[in-house]
Protein backbone atom coordinates (compact mmCIF):
# COMPACT_ATOMS: atom_id res chain seq x y z
CA UNK A 1 0.00 0.00 0.00
CA UNK A 2 1.32 3.43 -0.96
CA UNK A 3 1.35 6.36 1.43
CA UNK A 4 -0.61 8.55 -1.00
CA UNK A 5 -2.70 7.29 -3.92
CA UNK A 6 -4.64 9.28 -6.47
CA UNK A 7 -7.10 7.24 -8.47
CA UNK A 8 -8.51 8.80 -11.64
CA UNK A 9 -8.76 12.17 -9.95
CA UNK A 10 -10.71 14.84 -11.83
CA UNK A 11 -11.01 18.49 -10.73
CA UNK A 12 -13.10 21.15 -12.40
CA UNK A 13 -13.54 24.89 -12.30
CA UNK A 14 -17.17 25.11 -13.37
CA UNK A 15 -17.28 23.59 -16.84
CA UNK A 16 -13.51 23.66 -17.25
CA UNK A 17 -11.85 20.34 -16.46
CA UNK A 18 -8.48 21.45 -15.06
CA UNK A 19 -7.28 17.97 -14.00
CA UNK A 20 -8.39 15.00 -16.13
CA UNK A 21 -8.48 11.69 -14.26
CA UNK A 22 -4.89 11.54 -13.01
CA UNK A 23 -3.51 8.59 -11.06
CA UNK A 24 -0.38 8.55 -8.93
CA UNK A 25 1.25 6.61 -6.11
CA UNK A 26 3.67 8.19 -3.69
CA UNK A 27 5.71 6.33 -1.09
CA UNK A 28 6.29 7.66 2.42
CA UNK A 29 9.39 9.88 2.43
CA UNK A 30 9.30 10.29 -1.33
CA UNK A 31 9.89 13.73 -2.89
CA UNK A 32 8.03 14.32 -6.13
CA UNK A 33 8.47 17.36 -8.36
CA UNK A 34 5.42 18.30 -10.39
CA UNK A 35 6.35 20.51 -13.32
CA UNK A 36 4.48 21.99 -16.25
CA UNK A 37 3.60 25.20 -18.03
CA UNK A 38 1.17 27.82 -16.73
CA UNK A 39 -2.37 26.51 -16.63
CA UNK A 40 -1.33 22.82 -16.68
CA UNK A 41 -3.40 22.12 -13.55
CA UNK A 42 -0.68 21.87 -10.90
CA UNK A 43 -2.18 24.35 -8.43
CA UNK A 44 -5.65 22.87 -8.84
CA UNK A 45 -4.27 19.40 -8.11
CA UNK A 46 -2.42 20.57 -4.99
CA UNK A 47 -5.52 22.37 -3.75
CA UNK A 48 -7.50 19.18 -4.34
CA UNK A 49 -5.04 17.24 -2.19
CA UNK A 50 -5.21 19.85 0.57
CA UNK A 51 -9.01 19.79 0.59
CA UNK A 52 -9.38 23.33 -0.74
CA UNK A 53 -10.95 22.14 -3.99
CA UNK A 54 -13.49 19.30 -4.08
CA UNK A 55 -12.80 16.66 -6.76
CA UNK A 56 -15.47 16.04 -9.38
CA UNK A 57 -14.51 12.36 -9.65
CA UNK A 58 -11.90 9.86 -8.50
CA UNK A 59 -10.37 9.18 -5.11
CA UNK A 60 -7.56 10.35 -2.82
CA UNK A 61 -6.22 7.75 -0.39
CA UNK A 62 -3.78 8.41 2.45
CA UNK A 63 -2.45 5.28 4.14
CA UNK A 64 -5.22 3.45 2.29
CA UNK A 65 -7.93 5.63 3.84
CA UNK A 66 -10.30 7.42 1.48
CA UNK A 67 -10.01 11.15 2.26
CA UNK A 68 -11.58 12.45 -0.96
CA UNK A 69 -14.42 14.22 0.85
CA UNK A 70 -12.54 15.13 4.02
CA UNK A 71 -12.57 18.91 4.72
CA UNK A 72 -9.31 20.86 4.64
CA UNK A 73 -9.06 21.49 8.40
CA UNK A 74 -9.27 17.76 9.13
CA UNK A 75 -6.59 17.04 6.53
CA UNK A 76 -4.23 19.31 8.47
CA UNK A 77 -4.80 17.12 11.50
CA UNK A 78 -4.02 13.93 9.63
CA UNK A 79 -0.83 15.52 8.32
CA UNK A 80 -1.42 17.32 5.02
CA UNK A 81 -0.08 20.88 4.77
CA UNK A 82 -0.15 23.21 1.78
CA UNK A 83 2.19 26.12 1.14
CA UNK A 84 0.02 28.00 -1.35
CA UNK A 85 1.12 29.92 -4.39
CA UNK A 86 1.56 33.56 -3.31
CA UNK A 87 2.35 32.49 0.30
CA UNK A 88 -0.83 34.01 1.81
CA UNK A 89 0.63 35.01 5.13
CA UNK A 90 -1.25 37.02 7.74
CA UNK A 91 0.19 40.37 6.68
CA UNK A 92 -0.39 42.16 9.99
CA UNK A 93 1.01 39.41 12.18
CA UNK A 94 4.71 39.04 12.90
CA UNK A 95 6.78 36.17 11.58
CA UNK A 96 6.61 34.45 14.96
CA UNK A 97 2.83 34.93 15.16
CA UNK A 98 2.41 33.51 11.65
CA UNK A 99 4.33 30.45 12.77
CA UNK A 100 2.63 30.04 16.15
CA UNK A 101 -0.87 30.37 14.73
CA UNK A 102 -0.37 27.16 12.76
CA UNK A 103 1.14 25.07 15.56
CA UNK A 104 -0.69 21.79 15.95
CA UNK A 105 -0.12 18.05 16.15
CA UNK A 106 2.74 18.33 18.71
CA UNK A 107 4.35 15.03 19.41
CA UNK A 108 3.74 13.67 15.93
CA UNK A 109 6.74 15.35 14.35
CA UNK A 110 9.95 17.12 14.94
CA UNK A 111 8.77 20.69 14.29
CA UNK A 112 8.60 23.41 16.93
CA UNK A 113 9.12 27.17 16.65
CA UNK A 114 12.79 26.75 17.62
CA UNK A 115 13.38 24.04 15.02
CA UNK A 116 11.73 26.04 12.24
CA UNK A 117 13.95 29.01 13.13
CA UNK A 118 16.98 26.71 13.03
CA UNK A 119 16.05 25.32 9.62
CA UNK A 120 15.36 28.83 8.25
CA UNK A 121 18.14 30.95 9.80
CA UNK A 122 17.01 34.03 7.86
CA UNK A 123 13.86 34.14 10.03
CA UNK A 124 15.58 34.44 13.41
CA UNK A 125 16.30 38.20 13.23
CA UNK A 126 12.84 38.81 11.74
CA UNK A 127 10.77 37.13 14.46
CA UNK A 128 9.07 40.33 15.56
CA UNK A 129 8.70 41.85 12.10
CA UNK A 130 5.29 42.05 10.41
CA UNK A 131 4.89 39.69 7.45
CA UNK A 132 3.81 42.58 5.22
CA UNK A 133 7.31 44.06 5.44
CA UNK A 134 9.20 40.89 4.42
CA UNK A 135 10.93 40.27 1.10
CA UNK A 136 9.62 37.50 -1.18
CA UNK A 137 12.21 35.00 0.01
CA UNK A 138 11.52 35.79 3.67
CA UNK A 139 7.79 35.40 3.05
CA UNK A 140 8.33 32.05 1.36
CA UNK A 141 10.50 30.85 4.26
CA UNK A 142 7.77 31.95 6.72
CA UNK A 143 5.07 30.22 4.66
CA UNK A 144 7.03 26.95 4.58
CA UNK A 145 7.79 27.31 8.29
CA UNK A 146 4.09 27.86 9.01
CA UNK A 147 3.24 24.63 7.17
CA UNK A 148 5.94 22.77 9.12
CA UNK A 149 4.42 23.97 12.41
CA UNK A 150 1.51 21.58 11.68
CA UNK A 151 4.02 18.71 11.70
CA UNK A 152 2.94 17.46 8.29
CA UNK A 153 3.42 13.97 6.93
CA UNK A 154 2.71 15.26 3.42
CA UNK A 155 3.99 18.72 2.52
CA UNK A 156 2.56 20.33 -0.61
CA UNK A 157 4.67 23.20 -1.93
CA UNK A 158 3.26 25.36 -4.71
CA UNK A 159 5.59 27.50 -6.85
CA UNK A 160 8.49 27.53 -4.43
CA UNK A 161 10.70 29.96 -6.34
CA UNK A 162 8.11 32.08 -8.15
CA UNK A 163 8.97 35.78 -7.94
CA UNK A 164 12.06 35.25 -5.79
CA UNK A 165 15.53 36.69 -6.40
CA UNK A 166 18.17 34.02 -7.22
CA UNK A 167 19.85 34.47 -3.84
CA UNK A 168 16.52 33.96 -2.05
CA UNK A 169 15.83 30.81 -4.09
CA UNK A 170 19.24 29.47 -3.01
CA UNK A 171 18.46 30.15 0.64
CA UNK A 172 14.96 28.63 0.52
CA UNK A 173 16.18 25.47 -1.24
CA UNK A 174 19.09 25.15 1.20
CA UNK A 175 16.58 25.17 4.07
CA UNK A 176 14.31 22.74 2.24
CA UNK A 177 17.14 20.23 2.28
CA UNK A 178 17.01 20.30 6.09
CA UNK A 179 13.26 19.67 5.89
CA UNK A 180 13.70 16.72 3.52
CA UNK A 181 16.28 15.23 5.87
CA UNK A 182 13.39 14.67 8.32
CA UNK A 183 11.87 12.20 5.85
CA UNK A 184 8.72 14.21 5.15
CA UNK A 185 6.87 13.22 1.98
CA UNK A 186 6.86 16.20 -0.37
CA UNK A 187 5.00 17.15 -3.51
CA UNK A 188 6.73 20.17 -4.95
CA UNK A 189 5.65 22.45 -7.79
CA UNK A 190 8.25 24.72 -9.33
CA UNK A 191 8.66 26.30 -12.75
CA UNK A 192 12.40 25.89 -12.25
CA UNK A 193 12.68 22.31 -13.45
CA UNK A 194 16.40 21.92 -12.84
CA UNK A 195 16.20 22.98 -9.23
CA UNK A 196 13.09 20.96 -8.45
CA UNK A 197 14.47 17.84 -10.16
CA UNK A 198 17.72 18.12 -8.22
CA UNK A 199 16.01 17.52 -4.86
CA UNK A 200 13.23 15.19 -6.05
CA UNK A 201 13.32 11.41 -6.30
CA UNK A 202 10.87 11.53 -9.19
CA UNK A 203 9.53 14.11 -11.62
CA UNK A 204 6.05 14.20 -13.16
CA UNK A 205 5.32 16.59 -15.99
CA UNK A 206 1.77 17.85 -16.39
CA UNK A 207 0.25 19.21 -19.58
CA UNK A 208 -3.34 20.41 -19.93
CA UNK A 209 -4.53 18.47 -16.89
CA UNK A 210 -2.78 15.19 -17.65
CA UNK A 211 0.46 13.53 -16.57
CA UNK A 212 2.45 13.23 -19.78
CA UNK A 213 5.92 12.26 -18.57
CA UNK A 214 7.32 10.62 -15.47
CA UNK A 215 10.80 9.55 -14.43
CA UNK A 216 13.85 10.25 -12.34
CA UNK A 217 15.09 13.80 -12.87
CA UNK A 218 18.58 12.51 -13.72
CA UNK A 219 17.20 10.17 -16.40
CA UNK A 220 14.98 12.60 -18.27
CA UNK A 221 16.58 14.50 -21.14
CA UNK A 222 16.11 18.22 -21.72
CA UNK A 223 14.35 17.38 -25.03
CA UNK A 224 11.87 15.05 -23.30
CA UNK A 225 11.06 17.68 -20.70
CA UNK A 226 10.67 20.47 -23.26
CA UNK A 227 8.40 18.30 -25.38
CA UNK A 228 6.27 17.30 -22.42
CA UNK A 229 6.19 20.83 -21.02
CA UNK A 230 4.88 22.39 -24.19
CA UNK A 231 3.21 19.39 -25.85
CA UNK A 232 5.55 19.65 -28.82
CA UNK A 233 5.42 15.93 -29.60
CA UNK A 234 1.70 15.99 -30.35
CA UNK A 235 0.35 15.91 -33.86
CA UNK A 236 -1.48 19.06 -34.82
CA UNK A 237 -4.74 18.59 -36.68
CA UNK A 238 -5.20 20.93 -39.58
CA UNK A 239 -8.22 21.67 -41.63
CA UNK A 240 -7.20 21.69 -45.27
Closest distance to ligand ATP from the beta carbon of 17 (Å): 9
Nearer to ligand ATP, 35 or 99 (CB): 35
Applying CB under 6 A, what is the total number of residues that bind ligand ATP? 12
Nearer to ligand ATP, 43 or 142 (CB): 43
Closest distance to ligand ATP from the beta carbon of 8 (Å): 18
Closest distance to ligand ATP from the beta carbon of 81 (Å): 18
Span between the terminal Cα atoms of the chain, in Å: 51
Closest distance to ligand ATP from the beta carbon of 34 (Å): 9
Q: Which residues between 161 and 180 bind ligand ATP (CB under 6 A)? A: none
Q: Which of 4, 9, 18, 172 binds ligand ATP (CB under 6 A)?
A: 18
Closest distance to ligand ATP from the beta carbon of 18 (Å): 4
Q: Which of 16, 104, 178, 198 binds ligand ATP (CB under 6 A)?
A: 16
Closest distance to ligand ATP from the beta carbon of 209 (Å): 7
By C-alpha distance, which of 176, 57, 69 is closest to 120? 176
**Tally of CA atoms within 13 A in the half-sphere of 3 that contains its CB:** 18
Nearer to ligand ATP, 42 or 202 (CB): 42
Residues in the chain, total: 240
Q: Which residues between 28 and 67 bind ligand ATP (CB under 6 A)? A: 36, 38-44
Q: Which residues between 110 and 169 bind ligand ATP (CB under 6 A)? A: none
- Any contact of residue 88 with ligand ATP (CB under 6 A)? no
Nearer to ligand ATP, 13 or 54 (CB): 13
**What residue ranges bind ligand ATP (CB under 6 A)?**
13, 16, 18, 36, 38-44, 85
Amino acid sequence: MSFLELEDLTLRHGLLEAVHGVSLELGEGEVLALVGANGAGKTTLLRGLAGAHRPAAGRILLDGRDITRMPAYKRVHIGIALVPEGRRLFANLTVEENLRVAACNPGRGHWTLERVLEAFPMLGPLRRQRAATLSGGEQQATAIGRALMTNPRLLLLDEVSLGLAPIAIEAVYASLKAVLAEGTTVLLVDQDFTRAAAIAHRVVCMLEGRFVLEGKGSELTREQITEAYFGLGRTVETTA
